[in-house]
């Protein structure tokens, strides 16, 4: 089966991933791959993450993070949107081994060729979401529903 997407420059941010063929709602598009690391290892390597503004880290579960800086695939270029056409799903392993959980990107509506693939990163930092950090994590998705930042309100 030919690939149904391609990575190229995006008007949202840096590189993006664009559909090259129709993708149906509910279809799995790609697995978010990378090197598995613990939260402690990620903190040691990248700090608390608040200062980078963009990240190739995906929280898999309470124990592990997928680090797409290392052995990542095209999925790491998929941008955030406040009105996304995909979502990131955690598929828990059948045998309960947290190392075998997977992140898959799935279409949440029908997607036309040429559309940029996006999902809601749903980021909350351990540190307070100050105006400065919100600006650092500024969202440029252009959707009418854009909240202006990738950071989610904390409860």
Chain contacts with Zn ion (rule: CB under 5 A):
82, 139, 141, 146
**CB 135 to Zn ion: min, Å:** 13
Q: In angstroms, rounded to a whole number, what is the distance separating the alpha carbons of residues 79 and 17?
A: 8
**CB 68 to Zn ion: min, Å:** 21
Question: What DSSP assignment string belongs to the chain?
Answer: ----EEEEE-SSSSEEEEESS-B-TT-EEEE---EEEEHHHHHHHHTTSTTTSS--EEE-SSSEEEETTTT--GGGGPEE-SS-SEEEEEE--TT--GGG-EEEEEESS-B-TTPEEEE---B--SS---HHHHHHTB-----TT--SBSBPPP-
CB closer to Zn ion, 30 vs 141 = 141
CB closer to Zn ion, 99 vs 135 = 135
CB closer to Zn ion, 27 vs 120 = 120
CB closer to Zn ion, 58 vs 121 = 121
**CB 116 to Zn ion: min, Å:** 12
**CB 91 to Zn ion: min, Å:** 26
């Amino acid at each position: 089966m030919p690939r149904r997407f391609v990575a190229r420059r995006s008007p949202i941010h840096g590189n993006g991933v664009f559909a090259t063929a129709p993708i149906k709602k509910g279809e799995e598009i790609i697995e978010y791959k990378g090197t598995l690391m613990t939260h402690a290892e990620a903190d040691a390597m990248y700090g608390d993450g608040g200062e980078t503004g963009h990240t190739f880290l995906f929280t898999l579960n309470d124990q592990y993070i997928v680090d797409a800086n290392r052995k990542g695939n095209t999925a790491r270029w998929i941008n955030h949107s406040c009105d996304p056409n995909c979502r990131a799903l955690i598929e828990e392993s059948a045998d309960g081994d947290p190392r075998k959980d997977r992140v898959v990107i799935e279409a949440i509506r029908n997607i036309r060729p040429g559309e940029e693939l996006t999902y809601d990163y749903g980021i909350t930092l351990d540190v307070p979401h100050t105006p400065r950090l919100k600006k650092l994590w500024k969202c440029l998705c252009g959707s009418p529903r854009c909240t202006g930042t990738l950071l989610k309100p904390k409860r």
